[in-house]
Amino acid sequence: MRCAYPQLWPVVRVETTKAPAMTLFTLAELEAAAELVHAHVPATPQFAWPLLRQRTGVEVWVKHENHTPTGAFKVRGGVVYMDWLKRSQPEVTGVISATRGNHGQSIAVAAARAGLQCVIVVPEGNSVEKNAAMRAFGAELIVHGHDFDAARAHAAHLAEQRRLHFVPSFDKHLVIGVATYALELFRAVPDLQRVYVPIGLGSGICGVITVRDLLGLDTEIVGVVADAAPAYALSLEAGRVIESNSAATFADGMAVRSPSAAAFAIIQTGVARILRLSEDEIAAAIRVYYSDTHNLAEGAGAAPLAGLLRESDTLRGRKAGVILCGGNIDAQVFAQVLAGRTPKV
């Protein structure tokens, strides 16, 4: 197994005259954000697992965002966002947001460190274990609505009613925070030919796209969504933001019906394509992660590997990356997957 810890790996700086199509921040801003993030969140490793290479014929580098203190990449964005909020709006005493889990944990952790009240709205039937984690991190949890988009609308209403600052799921400060994982990955393994990235509301993939462009790399970026939550794929096909009627996937980190227009503008110009994955493919990738690496992957975390497994024939002998964005899968769901079943929503 080959591994790279970004804090130990030589920095690769690439000078280029190629201008990125669209950026939310500069490289200097990103490096400052990385310094801030690393004061709270250790850099995560990327491993090239031999059993994945044996299975696929591809040198697969896994970016292990499941190794953060919250078990997911979102905590990076929470740290940067809350730092900005405390400096720019010191009068704020409390925050509110909506989530399926990982964003909420991020905001709860960062708000507690900033001394702010935190309220998180989740939809009905949300992950029991993610809910418990958010409460443990200090959040007041409110259950409302049948899916994420309904919970988000309710959170926006409560923000006005209770005079709380509403934290969106997509924002420049969140993106620059989560983009620090892409900086670690590309500086540790700068010659990746393709990277597969999951799409929830878009902060992660927009970070990867922007960092790739800032470093002047030619890496192909492929987005992945659940076929049961295809809004971003439909939007890319149509060339404009398209909402889906439902987002009934067990990969809750990708269960979004309404894309962010700001995120879509970056995704549209920065990705090669977006793959729509079946629930069975996502479940199979969770099993592969466990058998080949003994890592836990939630649905959204396994989806990039599912995309690579589908397209492995086009990558044989090459080098590719997959973002394991989180490992916060409920025990009951994981047990079903390990038993060879695909969880139903």
324/224 same-domain check? yes
Q: Which residues are within 8 A (CB) of 288 and not within 5 positions of it... i.e. 6 or more apart?
A: 52, 55, 302, 305, 309
To 5 degrees, how large is the angle CA 276–CA 279–CA 280? Answer: 110
SS3 191: coil
CA-closest candidate to residue 114, choices 136, 83, 139 = 83
In a domain, 345, yes or no: no
Instruction: Provide the pLDDT for residue 16.
Output: 37
284/215 same-domain check? yes
- In which band, very low, low, confident or very high, does the pLDDT at 22 lie, cut at 50, 70 and 90? low
97/64 same-domain check? no
Backbone angles phi, psi at 78, to 5 degrees: -60, -40
282/153 same-domain check? no
Q: In the predicted model, is pLDDT for residue 256 greater than 60?
A: yes
In a domain, 343, yes or no: no
- Structure tokens that stand for 91 in this block: 């009068």
> Is the CB of residue 188 less than 8 Å from the CB of residue 46?
yes
61/46 same-domain check? yes
51/178 same-domain check? yes
* Domain end position, chosen among 166, 196, 217: 166
Q: In the predicted model, is pLDDT for residue 8 greater than 50?
A: no
pLDDT tens sequence across 93-114: 999 999 999 999 999 999 999 9
DSSP states of 199-210: -SSSHHHHHHHH
pLDDT tens sequence across 303-334: 999 999 999 999 999 999 999 999 999 999 99
| Angle between helices 172-188 and 27-38 in degrees, nearest 10 | 90
Question: Number of structural domains, the chain?
Answer: 2
* Domain end position, chosen among 140, 166, 192: 166
151/179 same-domain check? no
**pTM beyond cutoff 0.75:** yes
Residue-range definition of the domain harbouring residue 132 = 75-166
